[in-house]
Amino acid sequence: MTTTLAPGKAAPSDNLGHVIFITAAAAMGGFLFGYDSSVINGAVTAIQHRYHVGSAELAQVVAVALIGSAIGAALAGRTADRIGRIRVMQIAAALFTISAVGSALPFSLWDLVLWRTLGGIGIGMASVIGPAYIAEVAPPAYRGRLGSFQQAAIVVGIAISQLVNWGILQAAHGDQRGHLLGLEAWQVMLGVMVVPAALYGLLSFAIPESPRFLISAGRIDRAKAVIAEVEGPGTDLDARVAQIDAAMRSEHRSTFRDLLGGRFGLLPVVWVGIGLSVFQQLVGINVAFYYSSTLWQSVGVDPSSSFFYSFTTSIINIVGTVVAIVLVDRIGRKPLALIGSVGMTVALALEAWAFSWLHGGTLPHAQGVVALVAAHAFVFFFAMSWGVVVWVMLGEMFPNRIRAAALGVAAAAQWIANWAITASFPSLSGWNLTATYVIYAAFALLSVPFVLRFVPETKGKTLEEMG
């Protein structure tokens, strides 16, 4: 006898393996996001020497991809509503692939900037479409854990890029400008991204379109088939389609105009989404992945060890993300965010204290140990909280009628904040490394009252209950 499930309830776990495959394929965009974000870490010093640029110019080369990411994030929501989630993934994969090839074979600094900007657009599109698609296909009971796949893919991408960079550096005898495969080592580091980019594109042909997009496009039979795939054959498909259709009929295609309202221009929930995105970046997390090798070398660590510490940091990042995946549906989004904020504040304050002992380009042994331990602790607390919670909540917290547009705005704000931190770090650290980390610690501390006062809990709610 077939059991009929009420619409929106969790299906039996018979199809969970298939849902996990679909989610993992969609999250490959997150893998590329992490890989591209971190791979530049191994090329920073070499690019500076190759093109004879100062710290300010170097920061722009590193950060320019983030401007492209903001553009891609702003475009992705409306584009996905028009042509579908899968097509946007395929466009992003094509941009990633072109960027990887171009970055490996630049003629000069200006076209390296162009290729990284193009890749950034792909990253921005993937950063929006990944969590949105996963939230739309995942059964409610598993949505938090499946939504965490996006961040898990990001941290795995970061770790793999650091491991590949370290391997390439060893093959080039420890010289970032050493020759390998007819190119300089740093060029090979950037070019290897073509492999996961092509895989992302191929996987996008193996997963179904979002049921919500299919219903909006009038493809009801296909939408039912996809719902049966992801929620189980016992689901009442007619009731589920009717539930989604009713929610969609009460709305219209979201645009920026739909986000306007409230006392400060935008709807309050949109400001909360922007706040989550901005706080996630203002704690300085990407400094750990864009500049860690250069940072450790600046305080007296040799290049090979600095690459190794970058890799160990990325492993801690994975461990923290696994902890978050286990806890996000058990204790909720807000408690995780608060635990992470407190932990990050303490870790960043300890880093600031340790760097205050920096003299003549080296740290005393005890302070060096504190700096390394605190840096790893900071990454752990970020990964087990804000790294996962923000991506999950951005996919969940907005009402259906504004979800796509609001996601685009929140993700664009995230990329702009990311750019501001990335572009300012070389100059700030050159001015005062201790003060730089005090600033990051202050933002971590400020995130506590923000979460307590403004952030809603979305644990266990269906997307149709969000407004």
The token pair that represents 16 in the structure block: 């969970």
The residue type of 440 is Y
Q: How far apart are CA 27 and CA 153, in angstroms?
A: 6
Residue 194 vs residue 33, higher pLDDT = 194
Provide the 10 A C-beta neighbour count for residue 246: 10
pTM: 0.75
What was the pLDDT predicted at 317?
A: 86
The token pair that represents 419 in the structure block: 């750019």
What was the pLDDT predicted at 60?
A: 77
What was the pLDDT predicted at 11?
A: 44
Note the pLDDT tens digit of each residue in 18-38: 888 998 899 998 898 888 878
Per-residue pLDDT, averaged over 116-142, amounts to: 85
Decide if pLDDT at 254 tops 70.
no
Q: How far apart are CA 64 and CA 465, in angstroms?
A: 38
DSSP 206: S
Note the pLDDT tens digit of each residue in 359-395: 777 788 888 889 889 999 999 999 999 988 887 888 7
The residue type of 294 is T
What was the pLDDT predicted at 67?
A: 84
Decide if pLDDT at 174 tops 60.
yes
Residue 253: which pLDDT band, with cuts at 50, 70 and 90?
Answer: low
What percentage of the chain has pLDDT greater than the value 90? Answer: 29
Per-residue pLDDT, averaged over 409-431, amounts to: 85
What was the pLDDT predicted at 262?
A: 65
Note the pLDDT tens digit of each residue in 67-111: 888 888 888 888 998 899 999 999 999 999 999 999 999 988 888
- Identify each DSSP E strand in 200-290 by its residue range: 260-264, 266
Decide if pLDDT at 240 tops 80.
yes
The residue type of 131 is P
What was the pLDDT predicted at 462?
A: 60
Q: How far apart are CA 2 and CA 280, in angstroms?
A: 45
Most confident of 143-152, 288-297, 408-417: 408-417
Note the pLDDT tens digit of each residue in 298-355: 666 776 777 788 888 888 988 998 898 888 888 888 999 999 999 999 999 999 999 8
Nearest partner of 197 among 96, 315, 299, 313, judged by Cα:
96
The token pair that represents 432 in the structure block: 């005062």
- What string of DSSP letters covers 278-295? HHHHHT-TTHHHHSHHHH
Q: How far apart are CA 383 and CA 159, in angstroms?
A: 13
Per-residue pLDDT, averaged over 265-280, amounts to: 90
What was the pLDDT predicted at 465?
A: 58
CB neighbour burial string for 215-235, b if at least 16 within 10 angstroms, e if fewer: bbeeeeeebbebbbbbbbeeb
pLDDT, mean over the chain = 84
